[in-house]
């Protein structure tokens, strides 16, 4: 992808509104992979990680998703190092509710006191006075869901959170949260090969909630129908699954992540491909 044609390439995906007052390009960046192995510690090269984050913004990405548990802390600190002071149109979303005992380990903690500490830590590391989108990372089976969400509502009322989102939730949990506060986004695992949240995607579209699919990219080399469509557009199957997500629903805001500038540019290039309804149906059927 040349410098001339790549600038603002993420805008080719169109835009989406978060909470009615934040408009971003509909291809974001997930900042989990700018950390070390096992999403633990520093990346092999902090300079490379900073370069990826800065290149994402150059490519028109203006929605970056992170979490205090990525590193832990490392991802948020790198975002501030690379991008602060932030562009006016850059929306940084982060999450709280998971703790990290070690590399590759994730432990739920929805205790309100923990969430308040996590939020304050994210504000400090990201050098923000208010988090544009703060997401409850995962429900804690040992803490009433209403108590965890209620803590975020209090922080929103205090002006420290602009909008509240949920991650790894069911429709029932969404409805519980909505009785306490507007929910502007859902972040669940969803991709062309794992559509367990299919009904939530449709619900988000109906209710103007943004759906952030995590783990959006799969290697579908060897799936003949997918390979044929990818070859038609001169792209890889990994790029094709991103175009499928964008076509799946206007509520979709994919956030593919990487620690490589080349991989980042490949992901963003997928925003320029518009699949036909027939092609979307073919890809869907081939991976069902």
Could you list the active site residues?
Answer: 70
- In the sheet with 91-96, reading across from the earlier edge strand, the strands are 29-30, 63-65, 91-96, 131-136, 161-167, 185-189, 210-214
| Strand spans (E) along the chain | 15-18, 22-25, 29-30, 63-65, 91-96, 98-99, 107-108, 131-136, 161-167, 185-189, 210-214
Q: Tell which phi-psi region holds residue 7, choosing left (phi > 0), alpha (psi between -120 and 50) or beta.
A: beta
According to DSSP, residue 86 is labeled P
**d(C-alpha 15, C-alpha 229), whole Å:** 25
Calpha distance 227→221 (Å, rounded) = 7
* Phi/psi of residue 14, nearest 5 degrees: 85, -170
CA dihedral of 143, 129, 66, 191, whole degrees rounded to 10? 80
Q: How far apart are CA 161 and CA 64, in angstroms?
A: 16
* The pairing of beta strand 63-65 with beta strand 29-30: parallel
CB 22 within 8 A of CB 163: yes
CB 1 within 8 A of CB 13: no
- CA 40 vs. chain centroid, Å, equals 19
């Amino acid at each position: 992808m040349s410098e001339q044609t790549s600038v603002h390439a993420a805008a080719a995906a169109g835009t989406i509104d978060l909470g009615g007052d934040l408009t971003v390009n509909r291809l974001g960046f997930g900042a989990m992979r700018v950390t070390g192995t096992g999403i633990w510690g520093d990346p092999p090269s902090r300079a490379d990680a900073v370069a990826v984050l800065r290149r994402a913004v150059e490519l028109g990405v203006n929605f970056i998703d992170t979490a205090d548990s990525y590193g832990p802390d490392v991802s948020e600190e790198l975002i501030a190092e690379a991008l602060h002071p932030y562009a006016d149109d850059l929306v940084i979303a982060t999450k709280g509710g998971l703790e990290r005992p070690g590399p590759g380990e994730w432990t739920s903690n929805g205790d309100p006191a923990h969430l308040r500490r996590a939020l304050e830590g994210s504000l400090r590391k990201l050098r923000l006075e208010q988090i544009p989108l703060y997401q409850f990372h995962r429900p804690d089976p040992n803490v009433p869901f209403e108590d965890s969400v209620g803590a975020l509502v209090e922080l929103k009322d205090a002006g420290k959170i602009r909008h509240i989102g949920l991650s790894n939730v069911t429709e029932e949990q969404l409805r519980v949260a909505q009785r306490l506060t507007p929910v502007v986004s859902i972040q669940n695992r969803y991709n062309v090969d794992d559509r367990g949240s299919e009904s939530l995607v449709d619900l988000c579209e109906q209710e103007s909630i943004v759906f952030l699919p995590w783990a959006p990219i799969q290697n579908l080399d060897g799936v003949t129908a997918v390979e044929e469509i990818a070859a038609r557009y001169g792209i890889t199957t990994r790029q094709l699954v991103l175009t499928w997500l964008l076509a799946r629903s206007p509520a979709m805001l994919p956030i593919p992540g990487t620690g490589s500038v080349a991989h980042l540019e490949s992901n963003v290039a997928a925003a320029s491909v518009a699949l036909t309804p027939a092609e979307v149906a073919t890809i869907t059927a081939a991976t069902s």
